[in-house]
Every structure is written in structure tokens, then in C-alpha cells.
């Protein structure tokens, strides 16, 4: 059966329409296969060639990919939630209630967003521990580690800004405490707090500020750094394999810059 | 793809090859995702709506009910009062009168309500979470919702959010509001109505500036320890003072007391002598008792009878043990002229002779309880004790109610209660064992304030369960929603009247404290008839006679108006003032003559009285036959009321006195005139005698 399907698929990839979309062309030669990666805007960030062993579960536990997956879920559910949500006081709380009580599967949507956010924070930490204890941050991947740290901060900020949006007591006091911590910074602390909240107290301004950060600024920044992060994986010699297996690792890991 | 060996083995055992693994895990995920639509389908409100459809399908009026039923989420949305109530989503039969026999919730028919649900929603009265569509969230307090449904006994509080005036249907709320002003709550706690006016106290806690003139330190000590031991109706709460604290406070109060304006000067030895004589003289005692009765002291003061029941009014303090409290020198001065000691007192100045003053003083001093002070032995106070007492007086907030020399009245002594009815539960500190709802908190706080912490200053009141419920009702009505209610939806409180009568008559009215019982131009008590239009309704001669020797007008009521022993000059001043000033704009007193109606008209009036209108059902003219005990007796009405008043009264009694029980009969002008002619012919026996 699979032979017949692949025959139709081959025919499809030969059509003119297909060829106009996918520039790499078809064929199973090494060139064609590397073209398929290089000529695709999304895939070209990734290494052209990866050893089969490198994509096995044992090598990375897929922690980075899973993080990207939760990020994807968060973007999709987040956009759906935005359809029902007004970042204004006290409407924000009423909208949250409406999601729970009237919107079809609204509670499911909210829970999916919430649990994915928790999962993402957990996965980011797990990913970083794995990278750290395997020593994958070492040359030539030092810069990518730094990018990773930036992404960690962005994840935490996304989680923190999202906390205020339900506009309930828990949110209010969590953000009050959080912003008070910021004001403990010497010299500029109070200014930082004022900048965060758009005022001296958690109020409608703070809600709007956190909404813009949560739904626009931080996600775009995160996408930007994710792109660099992935691109640097390729440029820094692909996925890292543990030193124990050094003998079987290709010379890509020699530390020389890759194309 | 290679999994660790152990996991790989498990996978193979469970699913077999990779394709099957993919298929099975996909199926598992799908089932997990199906939880969302399942929860959607089995949502509480859908289950109830299906239940309702089943319920009505078996009924004979199914077609009508089905036509009224609208599926899907229903809501009452009133943005101007912040209402989003989806209660009618499940409470589908709310407006179906034909479902009166259904007792199963949520399908029950709502009993008659004074407002339309479309105008006020549900949660304005019932509280709960209107936006919710599940049973738990809508009715009960959850982590994200403070206000559970109000129990039925507190429902009247919701009326009080908009209605600042007393309502017929809310006895509990009315009582609670009265208690709030009567029991001293608002001397310490400020309470503002939504329109910004401050709820004012109606009690008058006595000044303690000259307390040493009036009573002994021992009595103060006993009173401080337990006010209700002296008088069960005492409004002063129990501060649960330690023995030494009560000792020191009594020491300070005695030390800080200054002689009053009348101290010493007005003591008449002969009066005191007569008072003392009373003790062993039964004849004098009888005389004094009958004076007490004739003066109608019991209209305001209660005394415990042998059976232990209180008999008498509640305007003045209970007098059962007054002899153990006051000094005879003070009492005789008070009986002679109470205004001298306390210019603000509600007690009228009777014009007693010195002999009568002596009789009453002796009579009251005999009302003593030997046990009250038997166990109180206080040594002379030391300066430290007095100093400590002063500190206690100022810390306990005594001066919030009483004037005390050397201690200023504290401002905002206790928390303001303007928004107490919507205080977030998270901001309350609960005593152990109290349920975590606002109304349970208030209930417990009133019943046992000391359970909430040793250092708290709120004193212990002795209230019945009904009184506590009433008070909680009144407190719950002061909330954020009441403050946010648009003015168009509210009924503001009647403005407080500071009416004063003018001139020498005004002085007389203040001296006699008419306002303690009678309402005039919005000010005054409710015990006796309103006098705002008295000048239009009564004849001058009758009024003068009544003031000289008051008598009851209604056979079913006991007489309460005391005889003040006024002089003729005083009666003239008062009568002139009432006849001139207290006139109704609706009645021209002189538009109809008092006498001279044709006999035919009088006869017609009599027939109308007894047959067409059946007035004898409530009024008495013929004392031998008539049995009407509801309205005033009319035997003398022709010499009491003016004809114009009677005529207008026949036409529309409610216009002259709002709330009167007299029914409006829509009678023709001729009928009204004939009845007036008949009633004006009833001059009474005395008047006839006089004519002869």
C-alpha cells in the first residue's frame, strides 16, 4: 500500500504548482535532500544534515522541541483567549468569568493555556539543566547558552505578566508583591516599579501594560530569540552529543564554524 | 528512533509495531481531548434545562410552558447597576404562575415580588454570583467569589440598599436600623447612607459631668460591672471590666465630677422630710402611688411588677430599682425641673407643688433593691487609681457616648461601617469556630465580641436572637452596591427635621417636651397623634379644655397624655399658637359653620352614618348600642372637631393624615355635607348641659 501512496506522492511533487512552491525540487540525491532544507525559510534555520543518532530520544530527551511545542500551544490558545478578553478594569475579571461560565469550552481553553505555561517553564528549566550537566554550553556554544538564558528570562516574564490578566485577588496581590520586589533595587528601584505599573499602584494602567507585554512585546521577542537560538544550533555544529561518544561524533563538533 | 531499552520493551509489549503505537497514542489523546466537549455537554445548566423540558412535557399546560421556555444561556444585563445575572438559565419556571405546585428547585415559581426581575436582576437582592452557570459557583462562596447566597433571614437587608426609609414588609430591617441608632453603635462607629448623610443616634446617653450629684460611687461600680443587673432594659453594654478596673473608673468619675448648676440651691428640706416620712406611712404611700399614676409617668417609664414583667413605656429609663441609684437631693430637684440638670432631657417639666415633689421623691426612693449594692465595698480612692481610671475611660471610649470632664470625645473611635455589608471576607479576622461568611462574622461579632481577641474594645450586648438578626440585616444593607446604586433607583431617608416652635409658646413646648411623644412638622416621637395640622382640625375651646384635663379619645387605647398642671395663661399661649400656626393648607377652618345645619340634612346624615356607610362598625356615638372600638369615639365630635376638617376628612382622609386606617369611601359632596351636619350636631352631654 505504501508503495502505491508514494507513487502518487512522487507524481504530485512533479507538478508545476508544487515546484513553484517548493523550490528544492524532488529527488533523493544528497543535493536534493539538502536543498529541501536550505531552500525552506523555516527549515533552513536547522542543520542541513543530522545524524540519525542525534535525533534519538536519549541524546536530548527532546526537551528543546517540547518547549517549542508548548510555546506553539500557548500562541494558539492565547490568540483564541484574546478574542474574549478586554484588558480593562473591571471588565477583565468579568471576561475571565465569562470564559468559565458561558464560552463553549472556554474553561478548557483557559486551562490549556495555563497548564501549557506551567509546562513550558518546567521544560525550559529541564532543558537548561540537561544542557548544563552535559556540558553542552561549552565552546563553541557559549553564545547560544547566553541566548538560552535570555529565552529563560523571556519565559519567566511571559509567565509573570500573564498572571495579572485574570484581574482577580490572587493576580492583584501577586503583582503587588512582585513589583514591590522590583522597587527593592537600589537607586532606581522605585522608578523601575513605576515603569512596570504605569503608576504607583496596581491599577488599570498596570493591566494594560502587562497585557501589551504579554500579548505582543514578549512573544515577538521570544520568537526573535528562538530563531537565533535555532540558527545558532546549526552554526555551532548541530546538536551536541555527550563527550563520552566523542569518537563517533562527526568532525562538525571540532569547533570550526559551520556554513 | 531508539528509546531506552526498558521503555522500548514496554512499548512493544503494549502496542506492537511503530504504526500501532502511533495509532493507539493518537486514540488515547483523542479520548483525553473529548473531556472538553463532554464537560460542555454535561454542564449543570444544560442538565437542568433538559430536566425542565422533561418536567413540563408531562403537564397539561406543556404547550404554553414550552412556548415560554427559551433554550440556551439566559441573562439579565443591567449595566447601570452592575448586574449580569444568568440565574434564569436554570431557574426556568421563575415566572410561571402555573408551576405553583412544583417544589423542586431550580424550577420553582418565584413568590410575589415587589420589583420586576428585569429591572433589578436577582443578585441585587439574593447575592450569589450572577454570572455563574454552575450550582456551586452561583450559590456558594468559592476561592474566587466572596458573596454566597443570602440566607432568607437576611434577605431584608437587600431592600435597605435602596430604601433608606422604613418599609412595611421589612420588620427585621426596620428593627435593626432602629437598634443601630438606639444602642449606641453609631456613637463609636460612623455609618453613612449612600446619599452622604450620617446616620444619627436617637439615644441620649447621660452626661457624667455632674454624676457625683446624682448617684454614689458604689452604684457606678455595680453598674459598670453589669448594667443589666440594675435594669434589664439598660442599653449600656457590658464592658466585662475587671473588679479593679471598675473600681478605678468609678473613682475617676467621682473625682472628675463637678457640682451641677442646681446643686444645693434647690434642695428643699421640707420636701426631703416628707419623702422620708413616706417609708412608714401607708396612707402617704397610696397617695404617692396615685400621683404617679395620674401623672402618667408609666407612659414613658417602666417598672417591673411582681410577676417580673416590665410595665410601662420605654422612652425614659426603667425605675424598678431607682431608689438604689439616685440620691434623694438630686431626685427632688429632678422631679421639680429636669431641664436644670439635663437641658436635653426628653422628660417634661410638670408643674408639681412642693408637696407633690416630696411624695414622688419618696415614692421613687422606696423603689430600691437592697441586694444591688450589698456586696460593693470600696475603699477611698488613691491618686494612682484615679489616674488609671482616667486612662481606662479614655481607652474604652466612654467619652464617645458620655460627656466626661477631662476626657475629649474621641473621633472615629471604632471602624466606619458605611461599607461593612460588602467587606471582603479575606479582610476579616475570624474567631475560631465561626463560619467564613460575612454574615456569620457579623452575627458572631455582635453575640460574642470578646471571642475575637482579648484586646478588642467592642463591648458585650445582651440581645435576643431576633435582635441580632435584625442588626445583621441593617449592617448588611450598608454596602458598596448601595453606594453605587443610581439615584433614580433609590428612596432616600427622610431629612432629619430640626423644627423648633417659636416664641413663648415654643419655650413652653420645649419645657413640656411635646416632641418626645408628638410629631410636629417632621420632628418628634410616634407615641401620640401628629399635631402638624391640629389647628385646622380641632375647636379652640375643646383644645383648651383638653390641655387643662386630658382624656383619651379612643376607647381601645389607654390614656397616655399626662396632666401638666398648666396655668390658664400657659394654656392660652399654647392654644393660641396651635390654632394659628399648626394649620393644614388643605383645610380652611372657617369655610363651614360649626352649628346651624338644617334638621333634614342632619337626619339624612344620621341615616347615611348608620346604613349606607356603616360608620358604627368602628366608631361609637350611642354608648349603649354601638360597638366600634377601632376609631375614636364620636359622642362629642361636634364640640371637638371643626366642620371643614370633618367634611374634608369624609372626602379624602389619607390626604389629611397619611397612613390613617379610615377608609376612603368616594362619597358625593352632598353625602359628605350631610354626614358633616350630623356629626357637628353631636355636641355631647357636657356641652348640652352648658347650653342649658
**Does some domain include residue B382?**
no
CB contact under 8 A, A94 and B86: no
CA-nearest of A151, A161, A131 to A224 is A151
**What chain A residue is nearest to B427 in terms of C-alpha separation?**
A169
Distance from C-alpha of B27 to C-alpha of B33, rounded to nearest angstrom: 10
**Does some domain include residue B383?**
no
Place of cell 473529548: B34
What pLDDT does B687 receive? 46
Residues 6+ positions from A172 with CB-CB distance below 8 Å: A164, A202
DSSP one-letter string for B506-552: HHHHHHHTGGGT-EETTEE-SSS---TTHHHHB-HHHHHHHHHS---
Give residue B423's Cα distance to chain centre: 24
In the numeric block, which cell numbers belong to residue A181? 520586589
Beta bridge partners of B127: B149
A157-161, B210-214, B272-276, B380-384: least confident range: B272-276
User: What is the per-residue pLDDT across A45-93, written as a single tens digit (0 to 9) for each?
Assistant: 888 888 888 887 878 889 999 999 999 999 999 999 999 999 998 899 9
Min Cα distance A186 → chain B (Å) is 32
**What chain B residue is nearest to A98 in terms of C-alpha separation?**
B131
**Does some domain include residue B154?**
no
**Does some domain include residue B490?**
no
B465 by DSSP, 3-state: which? helix
CA-nearest of B44, B676, B153, B279 to A101 is B44
**What chain B residue is nearest to A111 in terms of C-alpha separation?**
B36
What pLDDT does B626 receive? 77
**In the predicted structure, residue B639 carries a pLDDT above the cut 90:** no
**Does some domain include residue B88?**
yes
For residues B102 and B220, membership in a common domain is answered with no
Distance from C-alpha of B640 to C-alpha of B682, rounded to nearest angstrom: 10
What pLDDT does B530 receive? 86
Burial letters B243-255, b for 16+ CB under 10 A, else e = eebbbbbbbbbbb
For residues B667 and B593, membership in a common domain is answered with yes
Residues 6+ positions from A182 with CB-CB distance below 8 Å: A189, A192, A193, A196
Distance from C-alpha of A212 to C-alpha of A206, rounded to nearest angstrom: 10
CB contact under 8 A, A55 and B426: no
**Does some domain include residue B395?**
no
**What chain B residue is nearest to A56 in terms of C-alpha separation?**
B1
Q: How many CB atoms lie within 10 A of CB A202?
A: 24
For residues B95 and B128, membership in a common domain is answered with yes
* Domain containing residue B248: 211-365
User: What is the per-residue pLDDT across A129-146, written as a single tens digit (0 to 9) for each?
Assistant: 999 998 889 888 999 999
For residues B604 and B665, membership in a common domain is answered with yes
Q: Hey, of B5, B11, B33, B40, which one would you mutate to test binding to chain A, going by the most A CBs within 10 A of its CB?
A: B40
**In the predicted structure, residue B692 carries a pLDDT above the cut 50:** no
Tell me how many residue pairs between chain A and chain B have CB atoms under 8 A apart: 42
What pLDDT does A126 receive? 96
- CB of A98 within 8 Å of a chain B CB? The answer is yes
Q: How many CB atoms lie within 10 A of CB B135?
A: 15
Distance from C-alpha of B305 to C-alpha of B311, rounded to nearest angstrom: 7
**In the predicted structure, residue B484 carries a pLDDT above the cut 50:** yes
Average pLDDT in the A225-238 region? 91
**pTM exceeds 0.90:** no
Share of chain B above pLDDT 90, in %: 43
Query: What are chain A's domains?
Result: 62-241 (1.20.810.10)
Q: How many CB atoms lie within 10 A of CB B614?
A: 12
Min Cα distance A187 → chain B (Å) is 34
Q: Which of B365, B392, B426 is the last residue of a domain?
A: B365
**In the predicted structure, residue A257 carries a pLDDT above the cut 60:** no
CA-nearest of B236, B239, B238 to B205 is B236
For residues B54 and B106, membership in a common domain is answered with yes
What pLDDT does B91 receive? 94
Share of chain B above pLDDT 70, in %: 96
**Does some domain include residue B492?**
no
Do residues B414 and B189 lie in contact, with contact meaning Cβ atoms separated by under 8 Å?
yes
User: What is the per-residue pLDDT across A1-32, written as a single tens digit (0 to 9) for each?
Assistant: 567 888 888 888 888 888 888 776 677 788 88
What pLDDT does A247 receive? 46
Rg (CA), chain A: 23
For residues B596 and B571, membership in a common domain is answered with no
Min Cα distance B144 → chain A (Å) is 7
In the numeric block, which cell numbers belong to residue B161? 440598599
CB contact under 8 A, B84 and A94: yes
What pLDDT does B104 receive? 87
For residues B188 and B286, membership in a common domain is answered with no
Helix axes B599-607, B669-680, angle to 10 degrees: 100
**Sign of the C-alpha dihedral computed for residues B151, B490, B168 and B166 taken in this order:** positive
Q: What is the mean pLDDT of chain B?
A: 88
For residues B451 and B575, membership in a common domain is answered with no
For residues B315 and B436, membership in a common domain is answered with no
Distance from C-alpha of B539 to C-alpha of B579, rounded to nearest angstrom: 8
- Write a three-state SS string for B35-76: HHHHHHHCCHHHHHHHHHHHHHHCCCCHHHHHHHCCCCCCCE
What pLDDT does A254 receive? 44
In the numeric block, which cell numbers belong to residue B435? 463560619
CA-nearest of A54, A92, A91, A21 to A252 is A54
What pLDDT does A242 receive? 66
For residues B244 and B358, membership in a common domain is answered with yes
Q: How many domains does chain B have?
A: 6
For residues B230 and B304, membership in a common domain is answered with yes
Residues 6+ positions from B653 with CB-CB distance below 8 Å: B660, B662, B663, B664
**Residue A197's pLDDT band (boundaries 50, 70, 90)?**
very high
In the numeric block, which cell numbers belong to residue B484? 453605587
**Does some domain include residue B61?**
yes
**In the predicted structure, residue B367 carries a pLDDT above the cut 70:** yes
Nearest to A102 among B2, B35, B73 (CB): B73
Backbone angles phi, psi at B374, to 5 degrees: -60, -35
| Side-chain-facing half-sphere of B279: CA atoms under 13 Å | 9
- Write a three-state SS string for B466-522: HHHHHHHHHHHCCCHHHHHCCHHHCECCCCCCCCCCCHHHHHHHHHHCHHHCCEECC
Distance from C-alpha of B127 to C-alpha of B145, rounded to nearest angstrom: 11
- CB of A65 within 8 Å of a chain B CB? The answer is no
Kind of pairing between the strands at B310-312 and B76-78: unpaired
Do residues B250 and B217 lie in contact, with contact meaning Cβ atoms separated by under 8 Å?
yes
CA distances from A212 to A114, A118, A216 (A): 18, 21, 5
Q: Hey, of B43, B144, B147, B425, which one would you mutate to test binding to chain A, going by the most A CBs within 10 A of its CB?
A: B144
DSSP one-letter string for B317-344: PP-TTHHHHB-HHHHHHHHH-HHHH-TT
Q: What CATH number corresponds to the domain at position B170?
A: 2.60.40.420
What pLDDT does B638 receive? 87
Q: What is the mean pLDDT of chain A?
A: 87
Conformation bin of residue B642: beta by default, left when phi > 0, alpha when psi is -120 to 50: beta
Distance from C-alpha of A11 to C-alpha of A6, rounded to nearest angstrom: 9
What pLDDT does A248 receive? 45
Q: What CATH number corresponds to the domain at position B649?
A: 1.10.760.10
What pLDDT does B262 receive? 65
Which residues of B have a CB under 8 Å from any CB of A? 1-4, 35-37, 39-40, 73, 84, 86, 129, 131-134, 137, 144, 424, 426
CB contact under 8 A, B2 and A56: yes
Distance from C-alpha of B367 to C-alpha of B324, rounded to nearest angstrom: 7
Min Cα distance A62 → chain B (Å) is 12
Which residues in chain B touch residue A169, judged by CB atoms under 8 angstroms apart? 144, 424, 426
Do residues A209 and A160 lie in contact, with contact meaning Cβ atoms separated by under 8 Å?
no
For residues B450 and B317, membership in a common domain is answered with no
Of B494 and B123, more confident: B123
What pLDDT does A252 receive? 44
Amino acid at each position: 500500500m505504501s508503495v502505491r501512496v508514494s507513487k502518487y506522492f512522487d507524481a504530485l511533487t512533479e507538478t508545476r504548482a508544487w515546484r513553484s512552491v517548493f523550490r528544492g525540487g524532488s529527488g533523493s540525491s544528497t543535493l536534493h535532500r539538502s536543498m529541501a532544507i536550505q531552500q525552506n525559510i523555516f527549515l533552513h534555520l536547522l542543520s542541513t544534515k543530522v545524524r540519525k543518532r542525534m535525533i534519538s530520544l536519549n541524546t536530548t530527551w527532546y526537551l528543546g522541541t517540547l518547549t517549542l511545542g508548548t510555546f506553539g500551544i500557548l500562541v494558539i490558545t492565547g490568540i483564541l483567549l484574546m478574542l474574549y478578553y478586554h484588558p480593562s478594569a473591571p471588565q477583565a475579571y468579568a471576561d475571565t468569568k465569562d470564559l468559565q461560565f458561558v464560552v463553549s469550552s472556554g474553561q478548557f481553553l483557559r486551562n490549556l493555556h495555563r497548564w501549557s505555561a506551567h509546562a513550558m517553564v518546567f521544560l525550559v528549566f529541564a532543558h537548561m539543566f540537561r544542557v548544563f550537566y552535559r556540558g553542552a554550553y561549552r565552546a563553541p556554544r557559549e553564545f547560544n547558552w547566553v541566548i538560552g538564558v535570555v529565552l529563560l528570562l523571556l519565559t519567566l516574564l511571559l509567565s509573570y505578566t500573564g498572571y495579572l490578566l485574570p484581574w482577580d485577588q490572587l493576580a492583584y496581590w501577586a503583582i503587588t508583591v512582585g513589583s514591590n520586589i522590583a522597587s527593592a533595587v537600589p537607586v532606581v528601584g522605585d522608578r523601575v516599579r513605576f515603569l512596570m505599573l504605569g503608576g504607583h499602584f496596581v491599577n488599570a494602567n498596570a493591566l494594560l501594560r502587562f497585557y501589551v507585554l504579554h500579548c505582543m512585546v514578549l512573544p515577538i521577542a521570544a520568537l526573535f530569540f528562538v530563531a537565533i537560538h535555532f540558527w545558532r544550533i546549526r552554526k555551532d555544529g548541530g546538536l551536541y552529543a555527550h563527550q563520552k561518544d566523542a569518537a563517533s561524533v562527526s568532525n562538525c563538533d571540532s569547533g570550526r564554524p559551520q556554513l | 528512533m531508539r528509546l531506552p531499552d526498558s521503555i522500548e520493551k514496554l512499548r512493544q509489549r503494549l502496542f506492537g509495531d511503530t504504526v500501532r503505537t502511533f495509532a493507539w497514542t493518537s486514540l488515547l489523546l483523542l479520548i483525553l481531548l473529548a473531556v472538553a466537549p463532554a464537560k460542555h455537554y454535561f454542564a449543570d445548566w444544560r442538565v437542568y434545562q433538559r430536566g425542565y423540558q422533561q418536567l413540563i412535557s408531562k403537564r397539561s399546560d406543556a404547550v404554553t410552558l414550552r412556548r415560554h421556555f427559551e433554550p440556551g444561556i439566559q441573562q439579565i444585563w443591567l449595566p447601570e447597576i452592575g448586574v449580569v445575572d444568568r440565574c434564569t438559565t436554570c431557574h426556568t419556571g421563575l415566572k410561571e404562575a402555573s408551576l405553583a405546585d412544583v417544589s423542586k428547585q431550580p424550577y420553582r415559581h418565584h413568590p410575589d415580588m415587589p420589583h420586576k426581575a428585569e429591572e433589578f436582576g436577582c443578585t441585587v437582592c439574593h447575592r450569589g454570583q450572577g454570572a455563574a452557570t454552575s450550582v456551586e459557583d452561583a450559590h456558594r462562596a468559592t476561592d474566587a467569589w466572596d458573596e454566597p447566597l443570602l440566607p432568607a433571614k437576611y434577605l431584608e437587608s437587600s431592600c435597605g440598599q435602596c430604601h433608606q426609609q422604613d418599609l412595611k414588609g421589612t420588620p427585621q430591617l426596620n428593627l435593626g436600623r432602629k437598634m443601630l441608632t438606639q444602642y449606641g453603635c453609631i456613637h463609636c462607629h460612623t455609618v453613612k447612607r449612600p446619599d452622604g448623610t450620617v446616620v444619627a443616634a436617637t439615644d441620649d446617653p447621660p452626661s457624667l459631668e455632674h454624676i457625683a450629684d446624682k448617684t454614689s460611687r458604689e452604684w457606678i461600680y455595680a453598674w459598670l460591672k453589669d448594667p443589666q443587673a440594675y435594669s434589664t432594659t439598660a442599653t449600656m453594654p457590658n464592658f466585662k471590666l475587671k473588679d479593679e478596673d471598675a473600681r478605678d473608673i468609678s473613682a475617676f468619675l467621682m473625682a472628675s465630677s463637678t457640682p451641677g448648676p442646681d446643686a444645693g440651691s434647690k434642695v428643699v428640706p421640707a420636701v426631703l422630710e416628707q419623702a422620708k416620712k413616706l417609708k412608714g406611712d401607708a396612707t402617704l404611700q397610696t397617695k404617692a402611688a396615685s400621683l404617679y399614676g395620674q401623672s402618667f409617668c408609666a407612659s414613658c417609664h417602666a417598672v417591673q411588677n411582681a410577676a417580673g414583667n416590665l410595665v410601662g413605656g420605654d422612652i425614659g429609663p426603667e425605675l424598678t430599682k431607682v431608689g438604689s441609684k439616685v440620691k434623694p437631693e438630686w431626685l427632688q430637684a429632678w422631679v421639680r425641673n429636669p431641664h436644670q440638670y439635663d437641658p436635653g432631657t426628653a422628660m417634661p417639666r410638670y408643674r408639681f407643688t412642693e408637696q407633690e415633689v416630696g411624695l414622688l421623691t419618696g415614692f421613687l426612693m422606696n423603689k430600691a433593691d437592697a441586694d444591688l449594692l450589698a456586696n460593693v465595698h470600696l475603699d477611698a480612692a488613691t491618686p494612682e487609681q484615679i489616674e488609671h481610671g482616667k486612662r481606662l475611660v479614655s481607652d474604652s471610649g466612654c467619652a464617645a457616648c458620655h460627656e466626661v470632664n477631662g476626657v475629649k470625645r474621641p473621633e472615629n473611635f471604632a471602624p466606619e461601617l458605611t461599607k461593612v455589608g460588602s467587606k471582603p471576607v479575606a479582610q476579616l479576622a475570624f474567631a475560631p469556630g465561626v463560619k467564613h461568611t460575612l454574615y456569620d462574622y457579623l452575627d458572631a461579632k455582635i453575640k460574642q465580641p470578646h471571642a475575637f481577641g482579648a484586646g478588642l474594645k467592642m463591648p458585650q450586648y445582651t440581645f435576643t436572637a431576633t435582635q441580632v438578626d435584625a442588626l445583621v440585616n441593617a449592617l448588611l444593607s450598608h454596602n458598596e452596591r448601595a453606594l453605587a446604586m443610581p439615584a433614580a433607583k433609590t428612596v432616600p431617608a427622610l431629612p432629619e427635621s430640626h423644627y423648633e416652635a417659636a416664641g413663648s409658646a415654643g419655650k413652653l413646648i420645649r419645657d413640656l417636651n411635646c416632641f418626645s411623644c408628638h410629631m410636629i412638622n417632621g420632628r418628634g416621637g410616634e407615641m401620640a397623634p401628629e399635631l402638624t395640622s391640629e389647628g385646622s382640625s380641632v375647636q379652640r375651646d375643646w383644645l383648651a379644655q383638653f390641655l387643662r384635663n386630658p382624656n383619651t379619645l379612643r376607647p381601645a387605647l389607654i390614656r397616655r397624655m399626662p396632666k401638666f398642671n398648666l396655668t390658664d395663661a400657659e394654656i392660652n399661649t399654647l392654644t393660641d399658637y396651635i390654632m394659628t400656626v399648626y394649620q393644614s393648607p388643605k383645610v380652611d377652618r372657617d369655610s363651614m359653620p360649626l352649628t346651624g345645619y338644617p334638621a333634614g340634612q342632619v337626619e339624612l346624615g344620621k341615616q347615611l352614618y348608620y346604613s349606607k356607610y356603616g360608620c358604627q362598625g368602628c366608631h361609637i356615638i350611642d354608648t349603649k348600642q354601638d360597638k366600634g372600638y377601632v376609631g375614636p369615639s364620636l359622642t362629642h365630635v361636634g364640640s371637638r372637631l371643626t366642620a371643614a376638617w370633618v367634611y374634608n376628612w369624609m372626602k379624602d382622609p389619607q390626604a389629611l393624615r397619611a397612613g390613617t386606617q379610615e377608609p376612603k369611601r368616594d362619597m358625593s359632596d352632598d353625602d359628605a355635607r350631610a354626614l358633616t351636619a350630623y356629626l357637628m350636631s353631636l355636641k355631647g352631654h357636657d356641652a348640652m348641659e352648658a347650653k342649658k
